[in-house]
A and B are shown apart, each in its own frame.
Chain A
Amino acid sequence: MKSYLLASLAVLLACCFVGTAFAADSGSAETEMLVFPEAYKAMKVSNGGTISGVVKFEGDVPEKKALEITKDEKVCGADEKFDESLVVGEGNALKNTIVYLIDISAGKDFDKKAKPEIDQKGCKFTPHVQIVPVGARLTMLNSDKIMHNVHIFGNNPVNKPQPKTRRKMPLKAVKEAEGPVEVKCDIHGWMSAWIAYVPHPYFAVTNEKGEFTLEDVPAGEYKLGYWHEACGTNSKAPAAVTVEAGGTVTQDFTLKLK
């Protein structure tokens, strides 16, 4: 009884000392997400076109930020690691940008043979950005022989330990398109990657040269979107592309820090 009274008193006291309201910035988060079509129908695509291009970074390239390795140094600190939220290569090529079709409603099916994986090697997630089809299982690999903890945020949260003996850990398939959502390892706080659960296969992630390619796109007009961890999205003003049957259309992007 007494302790309840005391606890209530503590809460009241806490209330008294509070000046400013706790401001949650929930409004801007939505524009940082991918945009998915309301419905998608898989069909056979013949004589489709190709969209390709290069994503470049504009602005002063910040110095690479070395990650501080605070534990399991033998495994994690074998080589120097850098923050991967902004990886700019030669000629300002921007890696790890998702480029995708925003408004496609029918097109090819997913490549069923492709099994999405993220490896935990040297206490780093590879790749840093992974596309996972809705309904497919993402397999987490553990090449480190130490314990990791797969902690995925978002509407389909996962928080599963992956002990050192667990080399492959498939995760329950996600049923709704979402993302990108972050993956962290609580044990090694610097580890970070992004997952996009997508409803159609017209998603690409740029490589070291900033290049992307979307193939077998049915002829038509589309909105081409991008997402980058540090540079944001163009969801409000996507690029318009026209794909001709069997043709190739080029669309480059230049991104700035958001």
Chain B
Amino acid sequence: MRIRTVALLLTLFGILVVFNFVHAQNAPEASEKGKEVYENSCAHCHGTEGRGDGSAAENLLPKPRDFTRGLYKIRSTGTGELPTDQDLFDIITEGMPGSSMPGWETALSANDRWEVVAYIKTFYDGFKEAEAPPKQINLSGKVPYSEQSVETGKALYTELGCVECHGNIGRGDGTSAPDLTDEWGFQSWPANLTQGWNFRGGSDTEAIFKRFIGGLAGSAMPAFEGDTFPGFGLTAEESNRMLELDNKDEMTAAEEEESGQLYEKYDAAVDIALNLAEGTELSAEEKQIYDDAMKVVYEKSWHLANYVKSLMPEKRPEPAIGNNVLRSQYLQGALPAIDDAAWETFEARYFPLVGQVVIEPRQFNPTLDGVHVKSFYNDTEVAFLFIWDDRTHTTDETDEETGKTVEDALAVQFPVKIPQGPTAPKPYFLGGGRLPVYLWHWKASAPDQVTELTAKGINNAEVQEAQGELQAQGTYTNGQYKLWVKRALKTDDKKDLQLEPGVFVPIAFSAWDGANGDVDTKRVMTSWYTFVLEPVPSSKRFIYPPLIALLSVGFLFGLRAFVLRKNSEEA
């Protein structure tokens, strides 16, 4: 037992040693090897000269990074600083979620990745000319996650203007969101802070903190450096007082003076911060003022990072397969309306969306992440609640590029005939000639209406002549759509899907984000999933089992009587 413990400790120690060795490594000198690996694996998107103009770049958004400018989004360093070698290595290793940049951990050896780091650095002279290593963001004052910290962070979220782009509750739906561009003039959507799994540089609290302090160079996300905080150089109480005085319509002479003094202190601290940034040596006293000011700023920033962390689930939801299959819950009586609390009693199922890249026009750069679905049914009807995040509410706009009218929309598709057995073929894509699909199509411009269609292929959908009595209601709030649909389980229309408890029914989704130019086949979609009206354990269970038990007991008694009689007869 003891030997095992020692062995375990030794192994742990070994891992730590190796980890330390690997950690914060520097890249080797640029070599032919790095060039070779780069040209084989990276140049398709980033271009042979590192300008981000490889042959694949045209269709990608976010665009592949242009390495010649030295602007890197994901850094452990402050604003205006270059990334560390380790930063570059980590991005190559892990990739950038939510973009086209894959992780290369399995495709390239660690050695090759280091060679690539060294080679990428040759595209920008600043790396060679740098006199000192880039200044890293100090993570030492981390404030642990707590409800109180989250509350403080929430107030800062509004005060610092995060809502302008990231929206009231972080879904990336701020009023400035549609207009953001990156340094190269390409559309740049603000992060949906409730979807941490799409954060380019990871979503742990430290990563959030670093993005906030250092900014995302080349994007619209600014750096919240020390002196951008209102009241930099003041204590928390002083800065609160400064803001309080600012908000007064009229100040007394004493208040004027007080405000003036606070501003003087504020300006002086800003001056020191600028001197430092410009490379001026600070006196001991100035250094103290600066350090104290930064302590306040860093603490606030940790609160903000904790708040952002609180907006997202711990990890990406599991897709609706296996144990997570969508099960419609049986209810006796009327089905709940769109805003009924009954919908909150259980977890939604998650259907991740991907860009449609098979048929022209394609969508390589989806902006919609997934659809969350809940469902109830009763003896005659079924109701669904579809929920998905969309940063913009687009109802009827003309796409600048294509001239087509675009709008947000959702389509839910089922096969017309339910395939029998797990190996039976499902309709391909949006239905094929032989296996048509039955569709519900909803558009943001008519939020309380769902149209029934029959489709025999992605470009071959027809509105059904007989529109069944589908009820629908759609809402858009804080960057999220909710669509409620109710239909009878059985209909008279042969082109409709007929529903029965206990039968697994294929289901798939397509969605359109008008602001992202989605129209027709340019859309996001899911593959086939299944849902089932969860069968209610039959009420006959109260009749048959007791009956059988009763009969068995009766039989046993009869047998006993028979045996007894037989025995007595023999005797």
User: Which residues does A use to contact B, with CB under 8 Å?
Assistant: 1, 3-5, 7-8, 10-11, 13-15, 17-18, 20-24, 26, 70-71, 137, 147, 149, 151, 153, 157, 159-166, 168-173, 186-189
Contact = CB atoms under 8 A, between A and B. Distances in A.
A199 B270 CA distance: 25
B525 to A, nearest CB: 15
Contact of A71 (B55, B80, B176): B176
Contact of A189 (B103, B176, B222): B176
A160 to B, nearest CB: 5
Interface stretch (B224-232, B457-465, B557-565): B224-232
B357 interface: yes
Contacts of B267: 168
A163 B228 contact: yes
Interface of B: 44-45, 51, 53-60, 71, 79-80, 95, 100, 102-107, 159-161, 164-165, 175-176, 179-181, 183, 215, 217-218, 220-225, 227-228, 230-231, 242-243, 246, 267, 270-271, 274, 277-278, 357, 362, 364
B223 A166 contact: no
Given A4-B103, A4-B105, A165-B246, A187 B164 contact: yes
Given A4-B95, A4-B103, A14-B100, A163 B55 contact: no
B107 A11 contact: no
B545 to A, nearest CB: 45
Contacts of A165: 230-231, 242-243, 246
A186 B176 contact: yes
Contacts, number: 134
Contacts of A4: 95, 102-107
A163 B230 contact: yes
B130 to A, nearest CB: 14
Nearest to B68: A26
A244 B56 CA distance: 59
A186 B165 contact: yes
B432 to A, nearest CB: 22
Contacts of A1: 106
A10 B180 CA distance: 26
B116 to A, nearest CB: 15
B246 A8 contact: no
B271 to A, nearest CB: 8
B21 to A, nearest CB: 24
A15 B55 contact: yes
A187 B228 contact: no
B179 A161 contact: no
Contacts of B224: 161
B269 to A, nearest CB: 12
B217 A161 contact: no
Contacts of A3: 103
Given A163-B159, A166-B228, A24 B53 contact: yes
Nearest to B162: A161
14 contacts: A4-B103, A4-B107, A10-B357, A11-B44, A15-B44, A18-B56, A18-B59, A22-B54, A157-B218, A160-B222, A161-B224, A165-B242, A166-B228, A187-B164
Contact of A10 (B100, B103, B222): B100
Nearest to A137: B274
A24 B45 CA distance: 14
A21 B58 contact: yes
Given A137-B274, A161-B161, A14 B223 contact: no
A157 B179 contact: no
A161 B107 contact: no
A187 B56 contact: no
B53 A21 contact: yes
Nearest to B66: A24
A160 B225 contact: yes
Counting from the closest, the 5 A-B pairs by CB-CB distance are A7-B102, A189-B179, A147-B161, A186-B220, A165-B230
Contacts of A151: 220, 222
Contact of A159 (B102, B103, B165, B221): B221
Nearest to A19: B58
